[in-house]
A and B are shown apart, each in its own frame.
Chain A
């Protein structure tokens, strides 16, 4: 597609429920990233996928967070047993994967945990 697409744009859930956030990267981009942006703060790295290599999960804050990517296409970020501190905007980015590539961001999913 023309840009990185994320869905849903907004998600309201109850504490303890599981949520799935979706990211469609730019076609042909081999690298995909998830970041979290808490209110008034910068972006925190969560996870990085590059082609068929093992993902870099070093930024996932707890084992309640997981992500999958099928090949070089769609990625899903799953948060299990959501907590109020999970409330944030979750941003996805994709890039061509080269060393100096620009990361292009989607509009994000705003998650609110009540």
Chain B
């Protein structure tokens, strides 16, 4: 069975500092991995995905994520956080044999001025 773990309910970071939001996953085969962001009262917005190839994936708004197969992780990173990055972040995985996304429980990112 597929599963995703986001071990931190909340991450606090000062504006201008680097940020990391952690994600680990479990699938039976090779995964498709995604990060989405959710702002209050809005749907999920796609940030980036890993399908194959380069382990470092670059996405929207300066975010990037690194796929680590040995550690089954796909941590989201950004070199310099903005207050406007404050939101709820979801990691999701898809087993290549299935269509549905399996989501983590989300991590709330709070960037302070």
State the A residues within 8 Å of B (CB): 4, 31, 33, 35, 40-45, 48, 50, 56, 58-59, 91, 93, 99-100, 102-108
A108: B residues at CB distance < 8 A: 43
Give how many A-B residue pairs fall within 8 Å (CB-CB). Answer: 55
Cβ-defined contact, A43 with B90, below 8 A? yes
**B102 shortest CB reach to chain A, Å:** 7
State how many angstroms separate the Cβ of A43 from the closest Cβ of chain B: 4
9 contacts between A and B (CB under 8 A): A42-B105, A42-B106, A45-B100, A48-B99, A56-B100, A99-B96, A100-B51, A105-B36, A107-B41
B interface residues (Cβ-Cβ under 8 A, vs A)? 4, 32, 34, 36, 41-46, 49, 51, 90, 92, 96, 99-106
Could you say which residues of chain B place their CB within 8 Å of the CB of A93?
Answer: 44
Task: Name the CB-closest residue of B to A92.
Answer: B43
**Across-interface contacts of B104 in A (CB, < 8 A):** 42
Residue of A nearest to B46 (CB): A102
The CA of A105 and the CA of B90, in the complex, are separated in Å by 13
Question: Cβ of B106 and Cβ of A59 under 8 Å apart?
Answer: no
The 10 A-B pairs of least Cβ separation, nearest first, read A105-B43, A42-B103, A45-B100, A105-B44, A43-B103, A107-B43, A42-B105, A100-B51, A106-B43, A102-B46
**A4 surroundings in chain B (CB, below 8 A):** 43
CA–CA, A39 and B32, complex, Å: 26
Chain B min CB distance to A97 (Å) = 9
Nearest-CB distance from A94 to chain B (Å)? 11
Nearest B residue to A108 via CB reads B43
* Across-interface contacts of A107 in B (CB, < 8 A): 41-43
CA distance A42 to B49 in the complex (A): 18
